[in-house]
Amino acid sequence: MTSSDMAMAASLSYVTFKSLHETPLMIAARLSVPSGEGKKPTVILLHGSAGPSARETGYADKLNAVGIATIELDQWAARGLGGGAAGRPKTIVETLPDVYGARAYLAQRPDIDAARIGVMGFSFGGIACMLAATHAQNDKFLPDGHFKAIMPVYPIAYAYNKAPGFEFGNLVDAPVMLVTGALDQYDDDEEAAPKLVASLDKKDAAKITVQVMKSAHHCFDMPGVEVIVTDPASHQGAGGEVIMRFNEKAMLAAHQIAVNFFSENL
């Protein structure tokens, strides 16, 4: 059976679950569980500021093809948000109850292995992944556990331990695969992620692997994107225009990184 055949054999359903907010939101999601016996490892996929897109489904298809279930969240619909810099939540922290609500929902399903749940996110969702890797945020929702593997993709690497709300350190005991683009105009520095890791305590730094995708802009893995947006968080906080540009070679490489990372750690 080819990878394509396995992906097609996955069971697709649209589900809703409760966030862990004090006043719970009902979060809609696309759940895909590969066929076959046994409980499946699963990756939660978190979209960026623009909202759900073909980017998340591209990763889902590749992960499904190797037997890993996926759930793609729509965090904006429950809030009535339209996406973009002006249509996203004010803080990343307020979306973390969605992430842990998804984990709680998955953990109670008979087809999902609660001990093998990872999380992956892009841009805004990537920042949520970074915060979920810290005890400071994780332990609010899951004091006796954590995500098994964490993969943030272009999560604005320059900002951690510099901007309020971007505190990063004292990490949970899970591997982190940090993927950035060399031409990302949020960071304006292809070494932003390596510099971040080098600034951390050695015990935390040892948990992180960095992959910098050459010739890759922000949203390099979003098929068809070729736009310029204005975002106050860009250019290391100076704000201004940012190129979002698809790069098929970088996307395919990132897909393989995700498959290898989650296959090894889930």
Q: Which segments of the chain are extended strands (E)?
A: 11-18, 26-33, 40-46, 69-74, 112-122, 150-153, 176-181, 208-213, 226-231, 240-245
Task: Give pLDDT, residue 90.
Answer: 77
Q: Classify 65 as helix, strand or coil.
A: helix
Whole-number Cα distances in Å, 250 to 34, 65, 217: 26, 20, 10
Tens of pLDDT, residues 174-196: 999 999 999 999 999 999 999 99
Task: Give pLDDT, residue 87.
Answer: 66
Stated as kind and residue range, the H or E segment containing 192 is: helix 192-199
Computed over every residue of the chain, the mean pLDDT equals 94
Cα–Cα distance, 109 to 111 (Å, whole number): 6
Tens of pLDDT, residues 133-167: 999 999 999 999 999 999 999 999 999 999 889 99
Q: What single DSSP character describes residue 95?
A: G
Report CA torsion sign: 221, 88, 98, 173. Answer: positive
Report all structural domains of the chain as residue ranges with CATH numbers, in order of start.
3-217+247-265 (3.40.50.1820)
Tens of pLDDT, residues 55-97: 999 999 999 999 999 999 999 999 888 676 666 877 889 999 9
Which pLDDT band, with edges at 50, 70 and 90, does 23 fall under?
confident
| Residue of 36, 59, 47, 56 whose CA lies nearest to 89 | 47
Please give the model's pTM, rounded to 2 decimal places. Answer: 0.94
Report CA torsion sign: 153, 263, 57, 16. Answer: negative
Residue 169 contacts residue 161 (beta carbons within 8 Å): yes
| Residue of 172, 180, 47, 175 whose CA lies nearest to 120 | 47
Give the total residue count for the chain.
Answer: 266
